A and B are shown apart, each in its own frame.
Chain A
Amino acid sequence: AQKVTQAQTEISVVEKEDVTLDCVYETRDTTYYLFWYKQPPSGELVFLIRRNSFDEQNEISGRYSWNFQKSTSSFNFTITASQVVDSAVYFCALSELGRDDKIIFGKGTRLHILP
């Protein structure tokens, strides 16, 4: 069965520190997509990244980077030099190709960046 686990319920770091959000997933399929979404206090889900299961290259986008390790079924997200505006709930998610692309979300990690 599909499952996404975000073991960190809540994290607090001081501004400018680096922080890594963990994500572990379970799937029976060999073809799938992994996602990270941000949900700021306003409530709207903001798409951050999608990763295809065949592409294990790490990705960097500004202060954000993602580490996809198929061997450990993990897709971790690192924010470098965190800022107060990064405070939000972050969701890791999974979608299996051929399953009508519905997205299975983890429970989220609430990130507090303290000034």
Chain B
Amino acid sequence: DTGVSQNPRHKITKRGQNVTFRCDPISEHNRLYWYRQTLGQGPEFLTYFQNEAQLEKSRLLSDRFSAERPKGSFSTLEIQRTEQGDSAMYLCASSLGQGPGGYYEQFFGPGTRLTVL
């Protein structure tokens, strides 16, 4: 399978615990995005990376959230001291980014569904 993969697919945790999700993008893609989707809503942009550099963070990303992309390959999204409001689907996407050809598609992974009890 050469698509975007995310692990775990489901995570149940207790309020106050830390959780970490992983995203493996399509191998030649240099851009990686994180989105959050709550029930009944569309995905909302959280942050994105160009290679290993984190270039933009949404205001939705509180201090409890941190994302990394060491070596410009896979990425991790960590949530510290989880709250019930963090319950959502966390989606990862990757793309070739912008270039002479213009816009490149974002390919989405299956998501990690987080439930905070």
Chain A positions within 8 Å of B105 at CB level: 47, 50
A45 touches B103 (CB 8 A): no
Segment 38-52 of B: residues with Cβ below 8 Å from A: 40-45, 48
Interface size of B by Cβ–Cβ distance < 8 Å?
Answer: 28
Question: Quick check: is A102 within 8 A (CB to CB) of the other chain?
Answer: yes
Size bin of chain A's contact surface: 20 to 34
Known: A100-B48, A101-B95. A106 touches B111 (CB 8 A): no
Chain B positions within 8 Å of A64 at CB level: none
Segment 23-82 of A: residues with Cβ below 8 Å from B: 33, 37, 42-45, 47, 50, 52
Report the Cα distance A93→B43, complex, angstroms. 10
By beta carbon, the residue of chain A nearest B97 is A101
Report the Cα distance A38→B106, complex, angstroms. 14
B41 touches A107 (CB 8 A): yes
By beta carbon, the residue of chain A nearest B6 is A44
**When each residue 87-115 of chain A gets 1 if its CB lies under 8 Å from chain B and 0 otherwise, what string results?**
00001010101001111111110000000
By beta carbon, the residue of chain B nearest A33 is B103
Q: What is A's interface to B at a CB cutoff of 8 Å?
A: 4, 33, 37, 42-45, 47, 50, 52, 91, 93, 95, 97, 100-108
10 contacts between A and B (CB under 8 A): A33-B103, A43-B110, A47-B107, A91-B43, A102-B48, A103-B35, A104-B45, A105-B43, A107-B41, A108-B40
